[in-house]
Amino acid sequence: MKNLTIEISGQPSHYDIVFEETLVSLDKSLKAQIKRRNYLVVTDRNIYEKSPFFRLNDFKNHLLVLPPGESEKKWETVVKILDKAFELDLDRQSVFVAISGGVYGDMVGFASAVFMRGVPFIQVPTSLLAMVDSSVGGKTGFDCAQGKNLIGAFHQPEKVLCAADFLKTLPHEELKNGFCEMVKHGIVADEIHFKSLESMPSLTVKTIMPLIRDSIAIKQKIVEQDEKEAGIRGYLNLGHTFGHAIEQLSDFKIPHGQAVAMGCVMAAEFAYKKEISSAELVAVIRAIFEKFEIGVDCEFSQTAIFKAMRHDKKKKDGHIRLILPEAIGRVRYYEMADEL
């Protein structure tokens, strides 16, 4: 699979998204990227125990293994990462490495952004969701009592290394989570990508792999134009304002991808009520998720969801800014005022 290069507008730096064929080639590339620098590798216990990657390389004493789950995405966990960096005597020439899904990818990115005012980090995404979404674009951070990802920083990775072999150890529900973000990319900016996902006979590693690069390329083009989300990068938040509220209301029992799927359907329904889109669009968006047995019906009331949305970080002048679909491949901003 051909590699991608992210070139941020107005910045001299760039970084590559590299697709490795095997975990062995990934290990070689990671070692070559770290070079002779001091480093810290962070992963979670599930990945450490289930992935054969850590049988190739134990990283000696440079490895920090932490508990899995969204509940760990908090300041106290960031402190553990920073404490380990100090214990290993890392300095400004050192590098952080996240071999993880989105939870630790976000936190390791944030820790590297604030450690000694910023050091490089490498993303090695192990889930489909992390490959197509959280590892690309430089958004880092963690959750707090007021909501999801409300504390963070923009800090671009030095390199992103992807390997399909990680996906082979994932439970099917994790493939569904990543698939939901890929569908979102299609709704936002690429009708052809949406139709390719829609036409898959089944959701497996084999069927989804050829489409991963296309999905990342959609995000790449948007991030390159708008790194700090001043304009079109906000389009990638389709489904997320509703979705983050749903995650919070469920105490994060509903996984991120499924919450985004619910949010995409809610956004389409809201757009239809506001005469921005059609009933046919709502049906098409609902159908692609239901085809692959992704539940999009939400048990929480509209009142509860709107209340939870008040803490969303994507507000402007005190108003929630939704991303609403007009058609497959085209979305727009909508500022909520009277609805809340």
Q: Which of 266, 275, 257, 273 is nearest to 309 (CA)?
A: 266
Give the strand pairing for 147-154 and 139-144. antiparallel
> What is the number of other CB atoms lying within 10 angstroms of the CB of residue 262?
26
Match 């990508």 to its residue by tokens: 193
- For residue 17, the surrounding DSSP H or E stretch is strand 14-20
Cα(311)–Cα(331) distance, integer angstroms: 23
Q: What's the confidence (pLDDT) of residue 317?
A: 60
- For residue 335, the surrounding DSSP H or E stretch is strand 330-336
Return the CATH fold of 4-169.
Rossmann fold (3.40.50)
Q: What's the confidence (pLDDT) of residue 151?
A: 95
Q: What's the confidence (pLDDT) of residue 14?
A: 87
Please give the chain's pLDDT, 340 residues, in tens.
889 989 887 666 789 999 998 999 999 999 999 999 999 999 999 999 999 999 888 898 999 999 999 999 999 999 999 999 999 999 999 999 999 999 999 999 999 999 999 999 999 999 999 999 999 999 999 999 888 888 999 999 999 999 989 998 889 999 999 999 999 999 999 999 999 999 999 999 999 999 999 999 999 999 999 888 889 999 999 999 999 999 999 999 999 999 999 999 999 999 999 999 999 999 999 999 999 999 999 999 988 998 888 766 566 666 788 999 999 999 999 988 755 5
Q: What's the confidence (pLDDT) of residue 294?
A: 97
Residues pairing with 191 in the sheet: none
Give the residue extent of every domain in the chain.
Answer: 4-169, 172-336
For the chain, what's the residue count? 340
Q: What's the confidence (pLDDT) of residue 313?
A: 58
Residue 25 burial by Cβ neighbours in a 10 Å radius (0-12, 13-18, 19+) = middle
Cα(239)–Cα(325) distance, integer angstroms: 10
The CATH architecture to which 172-336 belongs is Up-down Bundle (1.20)
Q: What's the confidence (pLDDT) of residue 339?
A: 59
> What is the number of other CB atoms lying within 10 angstroms of the CB of residue 288?
24
